[in-house]
């Protein structure tokens, strides 16, 4: 079995214990992972705090930081095939997807490498004649970056990139499910030449690791991606250190198709929107809202396409859908499907746990038109399950689309430009994709509101989230400051 160690203060270390990571395709252990508990968390936070205050990092210019990030980008690109193999093995995400995604992750580091020396302060036109006042943009401090198991290299790049560009130091915590790719990524951080303690990579379980890290007095900012329930724990923990937070949480994103849409594109985008990554995607288009007049046809086409998806070993390049990451996740998802059928949803396809090893689940479509309260329409499932409802007109489409506590993404397929603009204005979501779905870029902010969290990742503004403003007052007058207690 391969072993993956923690990376703390520039050294690779065993943790408090070893735990096994399972290959979701076989259910068998394939790697041993070093587990961080309180002592390792303390050590990592202390190292990051030291690296923030002393040593080479705070003395480096922003341009030098950018060069280190650029080196990291090149190393990620070169190692993408190897990292993709590790992520596929550890999480079951198919090799086609991990290969393409990790190669693109390099561009996220390049984007923030270029941004490092463009984070500027400001000069204020102050209302006093003998004062100069300006704002310095300074790094916010030591960051706890916490990611779930899906798309970890991507989800950590959108935190590490802006944090390091801004001059912060980071303790990155990988999920206890599928942590190997991030611990392997730590080797590239080391090779890139970041000073010890600037980036630390650990993993562990909630009570001894995640909870300790988020409440730690040495943490100034928490960048969290995960589910809303965990986010509540994170916020409660941050009541201890009063760290600022950005939360990228789940979604129940509507995918809205009007009768005038290009149906071929809509079907292709919907298939990718819900079945790519085996549906384990925060922006999964998990609620299809389709105009009544085309609903039967679109459902038939989607079911036919779902039936042709090649399900198999995640490491085969011909595989289009792999297993879910954990057995726990499959049991939860299947429970929601079963409860939804009991609530009146009609199973169009899938919905049956297949025989054999691995945590596979088939592409599943539920017609919920007669069951508006079915749990599959309201709960995030994080799996290959599409819930469908018909709508009569634009008003009904909007009402159903916004009938969710989440607000991450939305998709809209129509050829009517005026309607598209009206819908864009009225949809309550952080992202609206029109006649496309799932497009992402380092240049474009990403995030939501409501149960989907707060803050944005990607883009220029994300780097500012890792800074704080220092206001500087400088008196220019040659005159002595008058005695304040002498009346004039």
383 binds ligand NAD per the rule CB under 6 A: no
211 binds ligand NAD per the rule CB under 6 A: yes
Which of residues 23, 32, 97, 248 is near ligand NAD by CB under 6 A? 248
35 binds ligand NAD per the rule CB under 6 A: no
148 binds ligand NAD per the rule CB under 6 A: yes
What residues from 394 to 453 belong to the interface with ligand NAD (CB under 6 A)? 408
Instruction: For residue 261, list its beta bridge partners.
Output: none
Catalytic entry in 87, 248, 320, 380: 248
Which of residues 382, 391, 433, 437 is near ligand NAD by CB under 6 A? 382
Comparing every residue's Cβ against ligand NAD, the nearest one is 210
Phi-psi region of 458 (alpha: psi -120 to 50; beta: other; left: phi over 0): left
Helix crossing, 292-308 with 263-275: angle to 10°?
Answer: 50
Q: Is 215 or 463 the residue whose CB approaches ligand NAD more closely?
A: 215
Count of residues of this chain found to bind ligand NAD when the rule CB under 6 A is applied? 27
| Cβ pair 406, 248 in contact under 8 A | no
234 binds ligand NAD per the rule CB under 6 A: yes
Q: Is 32 or 367 the residue whose CB approaches ligand NAD more closely?
A: 32
Which of residues 210, 362, 383, 411 is near ligand NAD by CB under 6 A? 210
Active site residue 376: no
Could you tell me which stretch among 131-139, 146-154, 185-193, 432-440 binds ligand NAD (CB under 6 A)? 146-154
Which of residues 37, 38, 67, 233 is near ligand NAD by CB under 6 A? 233
| Cβ pair 144, 243 in contact under 8 A | yes
φ/ψ of residue 286, rounded to 5: -90, -10
Could you tell me which stretch among 52-60, 206-214, 260-268, 388-396 binds ligand NAD (CB under 6 A)? 206-214
| Cβ pair 466, 141 in contact under 8 A | no
Instruction: Please state the separation of Cα 56 from the chain's center in Å.
Output: 30
Beta strands 199-203 and 169-174, pairing class: parallel
Q: Could you tell me which of 134, 175, 101 has the C-alpha nearest to residue 441?
A: 101
Token pair 């916004």 is found at 402
Could you tell me which stretch among 1-9, 169-177, 183-191, 345-353 binds ligand NAD (CB under 6 A)? 169-177
Active site residue 282: yes
249 binds ligand NAD per the rule CB under 6 A: yes
Instruction: For residue 3, list its beta bridge partners.
Output: 32
66 binds ligand NAD per the rule CB under 6 A: no
Dig out the tokens for 471 from the structure: 């206001």
Query: In angstroms, what is the minimal distance from the CB of 43 to ligand NAD?
Result: 18
Dig out the tokens for 315 from the structure: 């490491």
φ/ψ of residue 163, rounded to 5: -65, -45
H or E stretch covering 43:
helix 38-53
Which of residues 227, 312, 372, 450 is near ligand NAD by CB under 6 A? 227
φ/ψ of residue 39, rounded to 5: -65, -40
Q: Is 13 helix (H, G, I), strand (E, B) or coil?
A: strand
Which of residues 173, 287, 330, 456 is near ligand NAD by CB under 6 A? 173
Query: In angstroms, what is the minimal distance from the CB of 377 to ligand NAD?
Result: 16
Whole-number Å distance between alpha carbons of 141 and 146:
16
> What are the residue numbers of the active site?
248, 282
Q: Which residues bind ligand NAD (CB under 6 A)?
A: 146-150, 155, 173, 175-176, 206, 210-211, 214, 225-227, 230, 233-234, 248-251, 282, 380, 382, 408
């Amino acid at each position: 079995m391969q072993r993956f160690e923690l990376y703390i203060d520039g050294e690779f270390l065993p943790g408090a214990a070893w735990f096994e990571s399972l290959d979701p395709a076989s259910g068998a252990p394939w790697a041993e992972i070093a587990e961080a508990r309180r002592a390792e968390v303390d050590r990592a936070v202390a190292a990051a705090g030291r690296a923030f205050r002393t040593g080479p990092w705070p003395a480096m210019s922003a341009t030098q930081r950018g060069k280190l990030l650029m080196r990291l980008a090149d190393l990620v690109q070169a190692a993408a095939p190897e990292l993709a193999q590790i992520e596929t093995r550890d999480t079951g995400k198919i090799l086609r997807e991990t290969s393409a995604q990790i190669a693109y992750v390099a561009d996220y580091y390049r984007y923030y490498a270029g941004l490092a020396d463009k984070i500027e302060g400001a000069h204020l036109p102050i209302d006093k004649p003998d004062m100069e006042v300006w704002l310095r943009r300074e790094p916010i401090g030591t960051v706890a970056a916490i990611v779930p198991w899906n798309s970890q290299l991507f989800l950590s790049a959108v935190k590490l990139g802006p944090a390091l560009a801004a001059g912060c130091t980071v303790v990155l915590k990988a999920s206890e499910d599928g942590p190997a790719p991030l611990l392997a990524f730590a080797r590239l951080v080391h090779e890139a030449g970041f000073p010890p303690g600037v980036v630390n990579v650990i993993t562990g379980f909630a009570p001894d690791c995640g909870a300790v890290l988020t409440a730690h007095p040495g943490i100034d900012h928490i960048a969290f991606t995960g589910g809303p329930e965990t986010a509540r724990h994170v916020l409660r923990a941050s009541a201890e250190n009063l760290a600022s937070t950005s939360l990228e949480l789940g979604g129940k994103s509507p995918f809205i198709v009007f009768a005038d849409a290009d149906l071929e594109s809509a079907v292709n985008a919907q298939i990718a929107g819900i079945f790519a990554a085996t549906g384990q995607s925060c922006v999964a288009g998990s609620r299809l809202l389709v105009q009544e007049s085309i609903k039967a046809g679109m459902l038939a086409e989607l079911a036919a396409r779902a039936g042709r998806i090649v399900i198999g070993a995640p490491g085969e390049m011909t595989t289009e859908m792999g297993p879910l990451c954990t057995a726990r996740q499959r049991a939860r998802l299947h429970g929601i499907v079963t409860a939804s059928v009991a609530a009146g949803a009609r199973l169009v396809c899938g919905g049956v746990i297949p025989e054999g090893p691995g945590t596979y689940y088939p592409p599943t479509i539920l017609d919920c038109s007669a069951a508006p309260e079915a749990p599959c329409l309201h709960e995030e499932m994080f799996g290959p399950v599409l819930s469908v409802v018909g709508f009569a007109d634009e008003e009904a489409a909007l009402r159903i689309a916004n009938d969710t506590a989440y607000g991450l993404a939305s998709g809209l397929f129509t050829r009517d430009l005026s309607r598209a603009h009206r819908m864009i204005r009225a949809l309550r979501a952080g992202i609206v994709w029109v006649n496309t779905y799932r497009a992402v870029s380092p240049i474009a902010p990403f995030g939501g509101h409501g149960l989907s969290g707060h803050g944005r990742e990607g883009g220029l503004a994300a780097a500012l989230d890792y800074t704080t403003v220092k206001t500087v007052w400088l008196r220019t007058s040659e005159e002595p400051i008058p005695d304040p207690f002498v009346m004039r």
